[in-house]
Structures are given as C-alpha cells and as structure tokens.
Structure 1
Amino acid sequence: MQISLHGREFRPEDTSSVQAVFDELRKQSIEYQVSDTFKSILNEADVDVYTDRIFEKKEDLSESEMILSLGGDGTFLETVAKVGSMEKPILGVNFGRLGFLTSIQPCDISSAIDKIKHKKYKLDERTMLCADSETELLESGTNFALNEIAISKTDTSSMIIIHAYINGEFLNSYWADGLMVATATGSTGYSLSCGGPLVMPHSDNFIITPICPHNLFVRPMIVSNKSEISLKVESRSNNYLVSMDSRAKVIGDVDSEITIKKESFKAKLVTLDGMDFLDTLRAKLGWGKDVRNRLTQTDKGESS
C-alpha cells in the first residue's frame, strides 16, 4: 500500500503528534510520499519523515491509494485541489481548529492508520462545483471547489452588484459585498458564517448565499444542484475577487459572465467507523451543551 501526505504549517505543540503519524506509518510498513511544500515545513520543524520521496504535481499521485491531509479544513481543501479529477480518497487528521472535514483527532492516529492498512473504511463521495468564463479565472484545470465558489469586492469601499440567473432565468440583482454558491458540504463553512442554512452533505442542492447584502429581505436560497447559475458583476473599481475554496484571484474584466454548475468528478472522503456527520455537527457547533438540557435530564432522573 502507498499513500501520500500533505499539510501546512502547524503549531509547535503539535510537533509530537505530527511525528507520531510518520512513526506509525513506518511501524505499519506503509509506503508513502510527502508533498514538496510540506516536506520543507517538516524539515524546519525537525520532524523525522524517514523518506526522501516527494510529490509536486497531480500526476505524482497516480500510484497512491489514499491521501492524508494533516491540518485543518483549509489544508483539506488544499489537498482536494491537489487531487482534483484523480478522485483519490482523502482522510483528514485535524491539527486545526473547527475541523468539519478533518474528523480524525491526533490521539486516534494509531488506530486510524491501522484501519487504513486493513482497509476498514468507507468512501463518502461529495458533489463539487466548477466555474467557467471567457475570462481566465484560476490556473487551468483548477476551477473547481468542494465548499464554495464566491465573488466578492476587492476593497473596503463600495459594494458590487451581482446579477444572478438560474438556468437562464433572472433571479435577482444583489447589492452586496459579494455572493457565493456553496455545496451541501460547504454549508458548514463560509456560507454558514454569512447566515446560510445547514444542509445534510448528500442533499442534491446548492446554496446561493449573499455576503453582507444591502437589503434586509435578501436571504440565502437553496436550489437544485442540477442548476446552472450565471453571474454578471458590476463594480465601480472595475474588478472583483473570485475565490474557490482556498484559492483566489482578482478579475479585471467586469464584462465577463461566470457560469457555475456541478463538477463532473467528486471528492472522495474517507470515513472510519464511528464517524458520523450529525455527531460532528453537535460536537463542532456545541449543540446539546445548553445548561437547560442538563437540567431537563436531571428532572427526568428525579421523577423516575
């Protein structure tokens, strides 16, 4: 079995846990390679990687059965971008903060790697977005996103106006700081912080969420993920920012139209036994920690 690993800078206090990943891989006799950027970070942190094998581009992942992402959700999204259309399974180990996509905790590294070796896992396929435009957006072959594709202003002054269409039919003109189209997976990310709804990850929906709209009656909207969403931008500064997960670029052509629809390939998330979206939701958002829940349970206990 061969796997690949990718990560970003981590906190000094996490060094021992990161080292534990490579110690366990060596112990389990699993072959692996490390991304070139992550290898440099590991060397600076004095983590013993036990290998000189690195990968730089997507094609270098062809022999890997799985990709380990060491970090938070941002690192995971960056790993998704590296995998792209190859659809390699990705498992996230959480060295970040919230971690909706990276559900394996450092304390569970040993058991997680053992399950990987013995193939005791399932694949959770997630729908992604893609964007197309006459203007070049991001680097060729990277115009896709697992969480969201967003258009936003590039400065702190005037708003932009975004004219939105669904399957060619006019939806609305948004006077706002921006607008995003999020997947069901991305409902727990940027969309949530902008007031968007939580959506079960396998729902066949996209979420159109305005960013700080200058109209109280403009609200997020859920549409079918079979929809084709077209966006046209008006901007006083004659530019705007396009972001796709962790990648962004300033676009200077305000006359171009951006079309967003479902990507032809999917992201494959590795899930181990005991991993459940609703459990993750309650744990990450602190649901059930209201003191009234404990009081209710106490009252029930006393009545019985």
Structure 2
Amino acid sequence: MQVAVIANKTKKGAERAIGVLEAWASERGHDLVLNREEHPPRELHRELLRSEVFVTLGGDGTMLGGARIVGKSQIPILGVNLGKFGFLAETSVDKLAETLDLVAAGKHQIAERMNLGGRIERPGRDTISFSALNDAVISRADATRIGRFETFVQGEKINSYTADGLILATPTGSTAYNLSAGGPIVSPDMRAILVTPICPHTLGIRPLVLPQHEEVRVQFPEGREKYELTVDGQRLYRLTPDTTVTVFMAPFVTRLVRVGGPRFYHVLRQKLYWGKRDSTLES
C-alpha cells in the first residue's frame, strides 16, 4: 500500500508523527510518499495522488489543504490531529500505527462529505471555479465597513443582506466559522447548503438551511466597494462590484477514513464541552 503524507511542520509533534509513519512503513513493507510542507510542488503532487490513502499531520486546516490536493481523485483522507481542536481528524499520533494497520487490513469505514462547488463570474473575464469542504466566505475587502450582499436562491431573491459578510457552508463546515457566527450545527451526513450572515444589521435576519439541489447566487450593488471570497480559510479571491458568485453542491465528495464508527456527536460533546459543568460556576 502506498501512503501519501503531508505535514504542517509548525505543529508540535509533527516530526514525531513522521517518525512513527516511517517506522510503520518500514516494518510493514508499505511505501511512503512524504511531503513535509502543506503545499507540495507539482511533481510531488502527482505522486501523492497515486497513493491509496492520504494522511494529513496537523489540524483541521491541514486536512482542508489535503482535501484540496485530493480534489476529485476520491483518495481517502486520514487526519492525524496535532492541534488543539481537530474536529475533522480521526486519530492521534499515539494511535497512528494502530489506525494504519486497520486501514491496511480493510477494517475501516469511509465517511463521504459533501463539497461546495462554485463559480466566480465577471463580464469580460474568464470564469473561475472553486470547491470547498467547509465554507466559502464573502466579505468586504475593507473590514471596517459593512457590506451589502444581494442573495438569490434558484433565481429568486431572498434577501439583500447588510452585514459584515456572508458564509456559505457545508454540513461539515457547520461547526467552523458558521458556528461562531450563530449558524446551525448540521450533521455532516446530510447534504445541504447553509447561508449564514455575519453580524447582520437587522436583528430579524436568521441563517438558512437549503436543500442540496438549490443554487445560491450572490451579487453586489454597483459602487466602488471591493469584496473578498475566502475558500476554506485558505484561498483568497478579490471581487469587484460587477462580480457574481454562484455556489452549489459539487458533483464529488471528500472521503474521510473512519475506524471507530459514528463519532460526530461524541466530538460535539468532547470539543464543545456539552453536558459538562463549568466548575467556575459552582459554589
């Protein structure tokens, strides 16, 4: 089995995790394609995509970067959490060799996660396509000023949001920026598009959960204001007022390796401290 690895070397424990992987591959007779950077060069990128499993060493950001590299290739991704939160990761360094043994033996499950697809269109310019596992966030380039976001679903105008920004998220991304902005938590097994305004000017504005087949289009009132689109917190696109951003369910999924069965609600309890008392409130 060939195993691809990308690592966030700024994370504490990255070198230890690489050592565990190298020892495991040597002892079990597996091939390792190792990149110590989150953004591999093109030649290595092609070699990574020949692998049977893709291991990311870092936090959720490293997994999102791995998902972008994997793209439509459908290679399963195994996340190893070296960070503090790790909503997406499946295992730790201490359990890494054991987890890989299960994967090599076929004793694992695959969780398929919906992606967003998107288009950035501007008159007289080539269309730019993008995809996101977590979210696409549109905001004013000047963060000190409020923006206006004309939003349409299936061609029908639903709102002209006056807000700091607009989050278009997948169920997987519902526990990321969407959650911080007051959006709903949605099971990642669902297929849906979440529309969550960031700090809307009107108190009556609430997030929307749309069915998977609907398409969201966002436009901007004519003016001199500039906007930005950030995809999965990693890719940044500059937008002008004549730009149209369209988001829909992508025609492919991201496949995540799971070895312990369903874990979403366990992660919620663990990471968000649900059901745990705050000792500072007890007297």
Instruction: Using structure 2 for the length normalisation, give the TM-score.
Output: 0.89
- Within a 5 Å distance, the mapping from 1:81-230 to structure 2 comes to 81-135=68-122, 143-230=130-217
Do the aligned partners of residues 235 and 59 (structure 1) sit closer, same or farther apart at CA in structure 2, a change above 3 Å counting? farther
Instruction: Using structure 1 for the length normalisation, give the TM-score.
Output: 0.84
SS at match of 1:88: coil
After superposition, the C-alpha distances for 1:5-44 in whole angstroms (9 at most, x for unaligned) are: 112233345533442232222222210112363599xxxx
- Runs (5+) with no aligned partner, structure 2: none
- Within a 5 Å distance, the mapping from 1:27-106 to structure 2 comes to 27-35=27-35, 37=37, 56=43, 58-106=45-93
Do the aligned partners of residues 81 and 56 (structure 1) sit closer, same or farther apart at CA in structure 2, a change above 3 Å counting? farther
In structure 2, the residue matched to 1:271 is 258
Greater share of residues in strand: 2
Shift of 1:157: 2.2
In structure 2, the residue matched to 1:23 is 23
Identity of aligned residues (%): 31
1:10 and 2:10 are equivalent in the alignment: yes
SS at match of 2:201: coil
Q: Partners in 1 of 2:39 and 2:16 — Cα distance?
A: 16
Shift of 1:110: 1.9
Shift of 1:57: 5.8
Shift of 1:98: 0.6
Q: Aligned AA for 1:208?
A: V
SS at match of 2:37: helix
Q: Partners in 2 of 1:169 and 1:212 — Cα distance?
A: 23
Aligned residues: 278
Shift of 1:218: 1.0
Contact 1:130–1:145 at 8 Å: present in 2 too?
yes
After superposition, the C-alpha distances for 1:48-78 in whole angstroms (9 at most, x for unaligned) are: xxxxxx8746533342111001110000000
Q: Aligned AA for 1:260?
A: V
Q: Aligned AA for 1:124?
A: A
Q: Aligned AA for 1:25?
A: A
Do the aligned partners of residues 157 and 105 (structure 1) sit closer, same or farther apart at CA in structure 2, a change above 3 Å counting? same
SS at match of 1:162: strand
CA RMSD of aligned residues (A): 2.5
Shift of 1:275: 5.1
